[in-house]
Amino acid sequence: MALAATGIIFRREFNAYLRSPMGYIVAAVVLLIDGILFYVMALNPPDGELLLSGQALGRFLYIASGMTAIAAVALSIRLVAEERQTGTLLLLDTSPVRDWEILLGKFLSALAFLSLITVATLYMPMLILVNGKISVGHILIGYLGLTLIGGTVLAIGLFATALTRHQLVAAAVASLITGTLFLLWPLAQMVGPPFGRFFAALTIHGRHWVGFEVGTLHLRDVVYYLAMTYFFLFAATKVMEAKRWE
């Protein structure tokens, strides 16, 4: 029943994205901004700098990572807060399903929809692939990175949305946590060791992202993103458990 319940919730949530304008608005905005920034920063850099194909792809992935994080926050904040607000969470709370099954189903549905949006950006690296010299592996590693960073931010968003019935509050909390984890990288470079190393180990971008940007896969980075995702999903489950019995 466990995975069955997760699958049932996954299907409902994924269809909800397809049925609601919210999903399409997020997809349209992300694709539009990705496209504009790709043209402005990767194909025609403002300073007239000539980029190698791999550098252009790296720059695109850099842009896409930020947009993916923003999309992940936008897609995740409704997942629990909306149900709490409309009362539908009571249906799940009084059904024989566990909180982690509910959250996993919701997380996977958001990840699937986010992945659809990400896949829709593939035409940009394909343009570089056709007109320049990059490897398919570089693209695949880059998209694996996008999926991992997207999953991590979705888990953060899920944690935030489990805390409250207000989507705006959830958005603020998710943005604060994600923003802080992004900013740890420049902070790490400013303060130097030993705190700098600590901050660098925690940052969601920078150190853990660079490898994906240049097409180098480090197990350490994959483990980092998976661990962060697990941590926030676990925290969200604990919040749900506490709130279910409040």
In the complex, which residues of this chain contact another protein (CB under 8 A)? 1, 4-5, 8-9, 12, 16, 19-20, 86-97, 244-246
Smallest gap from residue 100 Cβ to another protein (A): 13
Query: 86 vs 180, which CB is nearer to another protein?
Result: 86
Residue 200: left (phi > 0), alpha (psi -120 to 50), or beta? Answer: alpha
Contacts of 83-86 with C-beta under 8 Å, sequence gap 24+, read: 84/164, 84/165, 85/165, 85/166, 85/167
The residue among 177, 159, 169, 175 whose CA lies nearest residue 234 is 159
Name which of 26 and 69 has its Cβ closer to another protein: 26
Nearest to 205 by CA among 33, 111, 66, 31: 66
Q: Which is nearer to another protein, 34 or 82 (CB)?
A: 82
CB of 244 to another protein, least distance (A): 7
Please state the closest distance from residue 242 (CB atom) to another protein, in A. 10
Nearer to another protein, 197 or 244 (CB): 244
Shortest approach of another protein to residue 123 CB, angstroms?
Answer: 30
Question: Is residue 114 within 8 Å of residue 46, measured between CB atoms?
Answer: no
C-alpha closest to that of 75 among 124, 114, 30: 114
- Contacts of 221 by beta carbon, 8 Å cutoff, 6+ apart: 145, 148, 208, 209, 211, 212
Closer residue to another protein, CB minimum distance, 59 or 84: 84
Nearest approach in angstroms of CB 16 to another protein is 6
Q: Which two tokens stand for residue 58?
A: 């790296």
Instruction: Specify the amino acid at residue 229.
Output: T
> Closest distance between another protein and the C-beta of residue 11, in Å?
8
The smaller minimum CB distance to another protein, of residues 20 and 135, is found at: 20
For another protein, the closer of residues 89 and 141 by Cβ is: 89
Least distance CB 28 / another protein (angstroms): 19
Tell me the C-alpha distance between 124 and 216, whole Å: 20
